[in-house]
Amino acid sequence: MALQRLDNRAARALFLDRHGLAEQPRGPARGADLLDLITRLGFVQLDSINTVARAHDMILFSRRPTYRPPDLKRLYEHDRALFEHWTHDAAVIPMAFYPHWHMRFERDADLLRARWKNWRRDGFEAKFAAVLDHIRDHGPVGSSDVGKDEEKSSGGWWDWHPSKTALEYLWRSGALTVIGREGFQKRYDLTERVIEEHLCPGAIDCDPAITIDWLCNAALDRLGFATTGELAAFWDSASPAETKVWAEGELSRGNLEQIEIQSADGSWRKVLARPDVSEQAAIAPQAPGRIRVLSPFDPALRDRKRAERLFDFHYRIEVFVPEPKRVYGYYVFPLLEGDRLVGRIDMKAHRDCSELRVRAFWPERGLRWSEARTRKLEAELDRVRRLAGVERVVFAADWIRAPH
């Protein structure tokens, strides 16, 4: 029997809808409304680079332009509606999801103990008791509050001193909880003092099978369609093998079916979806024509290969590329217009002189760039400069470039 098919436009519509990018960017962005948005996305990745605004702030702002960074800080650090841990990277995650991270804590405990020993973080295990006792007696700490007599290096994260390594291990394995950040530096406290008892082991069923079922269903709900590898990568907690076994069971029960998705180049790819995926794609709203600046770490772009297949948009971040070898720039932002990724822009907020400086913009090849589009982009940059906390946008003389 022929498989259900979604053409490229329908696939993009469903995908953008699941990522909160198909409706008009407006609405409240505080408290319960902000939590609802993060819950819809699943998590928001944290990143320290602040050329315009940090990644988590750009992700939320692109969907709710009334959002401001203190809104997230309040939800996370005061309301305790979010917790911080790892998906594919560090992220803030709805507290309601916390029970499904117990499997992650247990697996990280084994994985990191072996991995970090191999990376010669000598002596970190001997610091566990001292670090826990210090926090118990003196309250929350940052990495600078422990291991003051230990040798430190400026070599990077791989040269943490033993007590810093112990802090990270105890957090990743669940004994500690990050309660917030000061200057983007994590603050740690005992989990028993932060997380409500009903979310902890003993009060809930931590059966890995239940967690794997939740992880796979929650990932599919947020992607619309996916391969088993993409489902596993969404939270990066269940293994690809576990996800494949889950999918086989759901297919046999009729809860999933295999369909074909059309890529931007016209080719077809087999993926998994709910049986009603065609109906869901048909009612997905048409994405608004307003131009939006996206973070390089936006959940819609995190999987670079999928973004290229769906949107014909090849994007690689060049932070770690030597400057002479960069194609575009250190930290270049993708631009979304409707259901298309239409270009990328190199810009930076210079807060000392209150300017958002635009060095260059490259429209995508094959796209007719018009004066109307320029006006839409300028309107979006005026919104972005408010998020960045600067007074004006300044354009380089040759800022509109030819497509690469």
Two tokens, residue 93: 């995650």
Contact (Cβ atoms closer than 8 angstroms) between residue 343 and residue 301: no
- Mean pLDDT on 149-154: 64
| C-alpha count within 13 angstroms, C-beta hemisphere, residue 230 | 22
Helix (H) or strand (E) holding 72: helix 69-73
Q: Which structure tokens are listed for 236?
A: 């990066």
Q: What is the pairing mode between strands 90-94 and 44-45?
A: antiparallel
- Please list, in sequence order, all residues whose beta carbon lies within 8 angstroms of the beta carbon of residue 321, skipping any fewer than 6 positions away: none
**Average pLDDT of the residues in 268-273:** 98
Give the residue carrying structure tokens 């369909």: 259
Could you tell me the two tokens for 63? 């969907």
374 CB-near residues (< 8 Å, 6+ apart): 400
pLDDT digits 0-9 by tens, 92-138: 999 999 999 999 999 999 998 888 876 656 688 888 999 999 999 99
Query: For residue 77, with 0-12 CB atoms within 10 Å meaning exposed, 13-18 middle and 19 or more buried, which class applies?
Result: middle
Name the region of 402 (left: φ>0; alpha: ψ -120 to 50; beta: rest). beta
- For 38-59, the pLDDT digits (tens) are 999 999 999 999 999 999 999 9
The amino acid at residue 346 is: D
- Are the C-beta atoms of 334 and 299 separated by less than 8 Å? no
Parallel/antiparallel/unpaired status of strands 176-182 and 268-273:
unpaired
How buried is 174 (Cβ within 10 angstroms: 0-12 exposed, 13-18 middle, 19+ buried)? buried
Question: Side by side, which strands form the sheet with 268-273?
Answer: 4-6, 257-262, 268-273
Burial readout 325-350 (b: 16 or more C-beta within 10 A, e: otherwise): eeebbbbbbbbbbbbbbbbbbbbbbe
pLDDT at residue 404, as a whole number: 84
Strand segments, DSSP code E, in 338-403 are 340-350, 355-363, 392-395
Of all residues in the chain, the percent with pLDDT exceeding 70 is 96
Query: Do 192 and 140 contact (CB within 8 A), yes or no?
Result: no
Note the pLDDT tens digit of each residue in 209-245. 999 999 999 999 999 999 999 999 999 999 999 999 9
Q: Is the pLDDT of residue 276 over 80?
A: yes
Which residue, chain included where needed, has tokens 């198909």?
22
Domains of the chain: 97-199 (1.10.10), 207-284 (1.10.10.10), 291-395 (3.40.630)
pLDDT, residue 115, reads 84
- 291 pLDDT more than 80: yes
Q: What is the pLDDT of residue 252?
A: 97
The token pair that represents 318 in the structure block: 């060049």
pLDDT-above-90 percentage for the chain: 87
- pLDDT for 122 equals 67
Residues 6 or more apart whose Cβ sits within 8 Å of residue 181: 187
**Which candidate, 29, 62, 127, places its Cα nearest to that of 287?**
62
- What is the pLDDT, as a whole number, of residue 206? 80
What single string gives the DSSP state of each residue in 91-141?
A: EEEEGGGGGGGHHHHHHHHHHHHHHHHHTT-TTSGGGHHHHHHHHHHH--B
79-80-81 Cα angle (round to 5): 90
| Nearest alpha carbon to residue 93 among 384, 299, 382 | 299
Return d(Cα 325, Cα 178) in angstroms, integer: 37
The answer to whether residue 145 scores a pLDDT higher than 80 is yes
pLDDT in tens, 322-347: 999 999 999 999 999 999 999 999 99
